[in-house]
Every structure is written in structure tokens, then in C-alpha cells.
Amino acid sequence: MQKQLKTVITYGTFDLFHIGHLNILKRAKMLGDRLIVGISTDTFNLQKNKKTVIPYSERAEIISHLRFVDQVIPESCWEQKHKDIIQHNVDIFVMGHDWEGKFDSLSALCNVKYLPRTKGISTTKIKSSLKQHKEPQVSKLVAFSH
């Protein structure tokens, strides 16, 4: 008898890829045999009032090259998760703990798990830090180099 492979799915924007992203994806993969990652498209992010620094195509390429990610799919709307779980025969749906309770309705289709996020790191924190510590303008750097 052949062992049934467990499929895990998770979603995110994954802008400004950092150690927190890496940690949650590695932990998601440890829950099963196959990991599918839904990445929010640029259009969907705009609908969520999120502005990304890195375009979807590049975010998807970065994630697809992680050795523990088996498949990357575009996420274009909230309602898509239900369809994806059925279409990809998903056993476990994973999100960060800051989403706790928001996707419990999916538990009728699969096991829903909320994993802790990595403390002290987030894309929002990185963006905020970058805004506070802006680099000098290139024209000013050129003036100093002469």
C-alpha cells in the first residue's frame, strides 16, 4: 500500500523577503510532504491597500527557488483559498498566528494551523525602518565625490 502524501498550503505577499518568511515556510513544510505557496498578486495587494516594493513575478521567482517549496501559485482574491484547497487536495492550511481565527471556516475542508511568527521581524517593520533612515540622494553623493 502506498503512503498518502500530505499537502500543505500557505499564502502571503512575501515582499522584502526576510528570515521570518523563511522560518514560517520551513515550518509549514515540516507539517507535510508537499508545500504549495500562494503569493498575492500585485493587483490583489492593491485591493488589500498594500503596496509592494518587489513585483509579483520576482516575489514568485524567489519563493519558487526555495528547496522546500514544491509549487507557487498566484493568489488573486480572498475566496480563492477554498477552491485551491479542493483543487490541490490540501491536507493542512497554514497561516501566521496574527491571522488566528480568520480562516477557521476552512477547517471543514482541511486541518487549519496558525504558526507563530518570528519575533522582531516583519516587512512592515523593515519598510518603516527604511522610511526613517533614508539614504542621501544620489545627486548629493555625486557632489561629495568631486
| β-strand pairing of 71-75 with 92-96 | unpaired
Average pLDDT over residues 125-139: 62
Active-site annotation holder among 3, 26, 29, 50? 50
Superfamily (CATH) of domain 7-120: HUPs (3.40.50.620)
Work out the pLDDT band at 138, boundaries 50, 70, 90. Answer: very low
Could you give the CA distance from residue 73 to residue 41 in angstroms, rounded to a whole number?
A: 10
pLDDT at residue 35, as a whole number: 98
Domain ranges of the chain: 7-120
pLDDT, one tens digit per residue, over 79-91 is 999 999 999 999 9
**48, 83, 102, 140: which one is catalytic?**
48
